[in-house]
A and B are shown apart, each in its own frame.
Chain A
Amino acid sequence: EDQVTQSPEALRLQEGESSSLNCSYTVSGLRGLFWYRQDPGKGPEFLFTLYSAGEEKEKERLKATLTKKESFLHITAPKPEDSATYLCAVLVAGNNRKLIWGLGTSLAVNP
């Protein structure tokens, strides 16, 4: 069964303390892996799409990487405004283009 697992479930950092969030997946055929940010009471905001192992993408303090079994979202020198839930989702071949979602990592950055 296709599955996406995110860890840790929650993470608390001090401002400036870099860390990484993990998204591991077991799927039959990966068509793409997506990272979203979700603030409380709002819809998810698209961050990155990764398609193949070895691919990396960056945006401000965020960097996403992909291997054949997992993806990392690296947060460098985070700020309090980076506090949010980060969601990972995968698009699987032949799955009617539905996304399989992880449960998310709730990140809190203290000033």
Chain B
Amino acid sequence: GAVVSQHPSWVICKSGTSVKIECRSLDFQATTMFWYRQFPKQSLMLMATSNEGSKATYEQGVEKDKFLINHASLTLSTLTVTSAHPEDSSFYICSARAGGGTIYNEQFFGPGTRLTVL
């Protein structure tokens, strides 16, 4: 139980293009989803928190117009990196938290997406 998928697992794109990453909770309803970024040998950096049906809350220093987040349903959230540049190259990981029950507090993570911008 508590499986989260992420697609694609890796993507290479040209500078200036946009990339969409999908995050799905497969066996539970996720009222809240989180998007993280991780640099090599560093811990997770929270980018934004999204609740189903409402606008995402972005962390300080994260450009909301560059990293568009949509949490359209209880099982799907998307992160779109707009006009990507080489400095956006990173490992992006989503997590999902259930709306209630015994797993209410835990975040369950997807496998991550490696983005390389040329």
A positions within 8 Å CB-CB of B: 31-32, 34, 36, 41-46, 49, 87, 91, 96-99, 101-104
Contacts and interface: CB of A to CB of B under 8 A. Distances in A.
19 contacts: A34-B106, A43-B6, A43-B109, A44-B44, A44-B93, A45-B109, A46-B2, A46-B106, A87-B43, A91-B105, A96-B49, A97-B32, A97-B49, A98-B34, A98-B49, A99-B46, A101-B43, A101-B44, A103-B42
A97 B112 CA distance: 21
Interface residues of B, number: 24
B52 to A, nearest CB: 14
Contacts of B44: 44, 87, 101
B100 to A, nearest CB: 13
A65 B96 CA distance: 25
Contacts of B116: none
A104 B43 CA distance: 7
Nearest to A51: B105
Contacts of B109: 36, 43-46
Contacts of B108: 46
A32 B105 contact: yes
A36 to B, nearest CB: 8
Contact of B112 (A41, A49, A96, A104): A41
